[in-house]
Amino acid sequence: MKIHWLRMQSFRAHTDTRLEFAPKLNLIYGPNGAGKTNILEAVHYLCLTKGFLTNTDLHALQKNAPFFQLTGAFGGTRRRAVEIRLTFDRRRRKQIFSNGARIERRADLVGMLPVVAFAPSDIAITAGAPTERRRFVNNILSQERPAYLTTLLRYRRVLSQRNRMLDQARRKRETPDAAMLDSWNASLVNLGSLLIKARSRFLADFAGFVTKAYQLLNAVTEEPAMTYKCAIAPPDAVDSQDQLHDLFHERLASRAQREQKVGRTLVGPHLDDIHLSIDGLALRDYGSQGQHRTFGIAIKLAQYQYLNSRLEESPILLLDDVFDSLDAKRARAILALLQSDELGQTLITAAEKQAISRFVPFAFEEHRCIQIRDGAEAANGQ
């Protein structure tokens, strides 16, 4: 998948910027605060309806502007060209159009334009809370299979409804209506089990990609592992749907009293974690700074390779400021990827042009350098 051009209106540093991209490498350079990352953020918005930074949509909207609008023209080897437009207004209404036709459901867009972003904030995946690792897994699975995202959104809807019901009963100091709770439990178990099964299968396949990426980054023979931590079922019980449903119901029954006390759902895949380890030792407890960084980049590389192997289209690769924070060895591994033929279109940000142009011949037509200054393309950019 490739993005041919992008237009950003009232979006972060960009009042109205239009950029053309080359089919392979695109280096976006310029001083800090010029709006380089915003460009990657905008591409991410158009592909997945949201940014890769954790700020809210409202932060992306320029002061005094009634709405921001992003437009991008995408094309692939097997898909016809598509123009995606996304608007977000002060009433927090986000609208997405594909070739002018309104897209009603997020799941109808996600997965169509695959994208993988590397950003300094990725450190949260290995070092942060479990929610970061669920987000990582949800991102990949949603892009690989839109049905996963549909199930995830339905599950979240059930969760918020069930939470509301538990909370209402708690406030009134009542026990929730047993038949009603049973009905919500049935939906929670049905949808939740689908998520557990999908995540468990995914992590089993993904492990091989992580090992390969890790070897590429690290000469020392360390064995990385990523295992699924689900409080409901051990890994071997996940394959049988009946067994998984039974275990889920049992767990709900055992936590029922506690749930009534706190007024919120305490069982389900929204509480899953993914356990990361090196040579059998938990990364969170024993990992050094360097190991964290290597692991973080390995799972992002694995994310790219996994999606690349599973999808018809190569994902668009967004590299935000990665070279500034990497040591030589890790930078070389990324550069090896950049120079390989299997890579699709890539957008890289850097403060200095030389950081990357030393390694990549930007003279070719398939590459491009874009200089950004004060929220606009600088005229003397090549």
Partner 1 sequence: MYYSSESVEELIEQLCRLPTIGRKSAQRLAAHVLKMPRSDVKQLAEALVAVKDRVRACRICKNVTDADTCALCLSTRRDHGLVCVVEESSDVVALERTGEYNGVYHVLGGAVSPVDGIGPDDLTFGDLVNRVAPDPKNPEAPKIREVIVAVNPTVEGDVTAHYLREFLAPYVSVTRVAHGLPIGADLSFADEATLARALAGRRPL
Query: In the complex, which residues of this chain contact partner 1 (CB under 8 A)?
Result: 105, 107-108, 145-147, 150-151, 154, 157-158, 160-162, 164-165, 168, 177, 179-180, 182-184, 186-187
Nearer to partner 1, 225 or 311 (CB): 311
Residue with smaller CB distance to partner 1, 176 or 315: 176
The set of residues, in sequence order, having a beta carbon less than 8 Å from that of 122 and lying 6+ positions away, is 296, 297, 300
Closer CB to partner 1, 58 or 180, in the complex: 180
CB of 97 to partner 1, least distance (A): 16
* Crossing angle of helices 289-310 and 130-144, rounded to 10°: 20
Report how far residue 298's alpha carbon sits from residue 275's, in angstroms, rounded to the nearest whole number: 15
d(CA 47, CA 72): 9
Separation CA 319–CA 271 (nearest Å): 30
Under 8 Å between Cβ of 84 and 74:
yes
Can you tell me which residue has the tokens 């309104």? 102
Residue number, 63 or 172, with CB nearest to partner 1? 172
Nearer residue to partner 1 within complex by CB, 21 or 155: 155
The four Cα atoms 136, 70, 77, 36 give a dihedral, to 10 degrees, of -70
| Residue placing its CB nearer to partner 1 in the complex, 127 or 165 | 165
Nearer to partner 1, 30 or 146 (CB): 146
Least distance between partner 1 and beta carbon 136 (Å): 22
Distance CA 319, CA 37 (A): 9
Instruction: Output the CA torsion 361→365→371→376 (10° steps).
Output: -160
Maximum CA pair distance of the chain? Answer: 72
Residues in the chain: 382
- Is the Cβ–Cβ distance between 199 and 142 less than 8 Å? no
In angstroms, how far is the first alpha carbon of the chain from the final one? 24
Smallest separation, CB 146 to partner 1 (Å) = 5
Q: How far is the CB of 149 from partner 1 (least distance, A)?
A: 9
Q: Smallest distance from the beta carbon of 38 to partner 1, in angstroms?
A: 31
